C-alpha cells in the first residue's frame, strides 16, 4: 500500500487532499487504477468475469462498499484509536458487504448463486481496505467518498471490459444472448476458463500501461 499512498499524495499536493475532488477522482479511475496499475483485487477480477452480467454486479458491489466504508472510516477517523483502527475498518467494511450480499440474496437469488463466495470475499479485498487505510483515514468525509467512488469505478470499469471480451469471445454473445452466429463463429472456450482470465487481464494491463505510461520501467525507450 505504501506505493499507492505515495503516488496519491504526489499528485494531490502535500499529503492532505482536501478540496481536490477532481484530482482524487481522476487518480482512482485512471492514474492509480486499482486493478490496471496497482494490480489489486485480482482474485475476484479473474473469478467472476466470465460473464459480463456478473462483472457488472461485482463492480456495483465494490462501488457500494468502497463509497460506504470510506465515508464511515473518514467520519470516525478522529475518534478511532490508532491501535485498533484495522479492526474498526474491517467492521465497517463487513457491514456494507453483508448489506449488499443480503440484498442480492433477497432479490437476485440467481445472481447471488452465480457470484458464489466472491461478494462476501469483498471484505478481504485489498482495494477496499487499502483505500480506507491510505485515504479515508486521513481525509475529510466528502473527498473520501469521492475517492471510494473513483476506485470502485476504476475496478468496475476494468471488470466490465474483461467481462465483455471474455463473454463475447468465449460464448459469442453478451448477457446470454447470441450475437455472433454459430454459422461462422466458433466460440473460443478458453476465454471463459480461468487461464483465459489471466491472459485477458494481462493484455488489458499491458494496453493500459502502454496508453497511460504507468509502471514504465526505468530506462525504457519511450
Give yes or no for residue 213 binding other proteins (CB under 8 A): no
**DSSP, res 216:** P
The interface region with other proteins, picked from 69-77, 115-123, 135-143, 192-200 by CB under 8 A, is: 192-200
Closest CA relative to residue 72, chosen from 142, 164, 15, 152: 142
Residues whose CB falls within 8 Å of the CB of residue 129, separated by 6 or more in sequence, listed in order: 89, 90, 93
CB of 172 to other proteins, least distance (A): 13
Q: Is 222 helix (H, G, I), strand (E, B) or coil?
A: coil
Residue with cell 487505510: 133
Distances (CA, A) of 36 to 63, 73, 200, 215: 16, 25, 12, 10
Residue 46 region, left (φ>0) first, then alpha (ψ -120 to 50), else beta?
alpha
Give yes or no for residue 47 binding other proteins (CB under 8 A): no
DSSP β-bridge partners for residue 174: 177
Give yes or no for residue 204 binding other proteins (CB under 8 A): no
The interface region with other proteins, picked from 52-60, 69-77, 148-156, 190-198 by CB under 8 A, is: 190-198
Give yes or no for residue 181 binding other proteins (CB under 8 A): no
The interface region with other proteins, picked from 32-40, 106-114, 137-145, 187-195 by CB under 8 A, is: 187-195
Give yes or no for residue 191 binding other proteins (CB under 8 A): yes
CB of 217 to other proteins, least distance (A): 13
**Contact pattern from residue 137 through residue 176 relative to other proteins, giving x for each residue in contact according to CB under 8 A and a dash for the rest:** ----------------------------------------
Alpha carbon distance 102, 49 (integer Å): 21
Q: Which residues bind other proteins (CB under 8 A)?
A: 186, 188-191, 193, 195, 199
Amino acid at each position: 500500500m505504501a506505493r499507492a499512498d505515495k503516488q496519491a499524495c504526489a499528485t494531490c499536493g502535500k499529503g492532505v487532499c482536501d478540496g481536490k475532488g477532481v484530482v482524487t477522482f481522476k487518480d482512482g479511475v485512471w492514474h492509480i487504477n486499482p486493478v490496471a496499475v496497482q494490480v489489486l483485487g485480482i482474485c475476484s477480477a479473474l473469478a467472476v468475469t466470465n460473464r459480463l452480467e456478473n462483472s457488472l454486479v461485482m463492480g456495483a458491489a465494490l462501488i457500494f462498499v468502497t463509497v460506504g466504508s470510506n465515508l464511515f472510516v473518514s467520519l470516525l477517523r478522529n475518534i478511532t484509536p490508532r491501535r485498533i483502527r484495522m479492526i474498526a475498518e474491517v467492521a465497517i467494511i463487513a457491514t456494507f458487504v453483508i448489506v449488499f450480499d443480503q440484498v442480492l440474496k433477497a432479490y437476485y437469488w440467481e445472481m447471488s448463486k452465480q457470484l458464489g463466495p466472491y461478494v462476501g470475499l469483498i471484505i478481504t479485498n485489498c482495494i477496499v481496505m487499502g483505500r480506507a487505510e491510505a485515504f479515508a483515514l486521513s481525509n475529510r468525509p466528502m473527498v473520501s467518498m469521492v475517492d471510494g467512488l473513483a476506485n470502485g469505478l476504476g475496478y468496475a470499469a476494468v471488470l466490465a471490459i474483461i467481462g465483455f471480451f471474455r463473454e463475447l469471445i468465449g460464448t459469442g454473445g453478451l448477457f446470454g444472448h447470441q450475437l455472433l452466429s454459430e454459422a461462422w463463429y466458433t466460440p473460443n472456450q478458453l476465454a471463459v476458463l480461468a487461464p483465459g482470465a489471466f491472459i485477458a487481464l494481462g493484455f488489458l494491463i499491458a494496453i493500459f500501461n502502454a496508453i497511460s505510461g504507468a509502471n514504465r520501467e526505468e530506462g525504457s525507450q519511450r
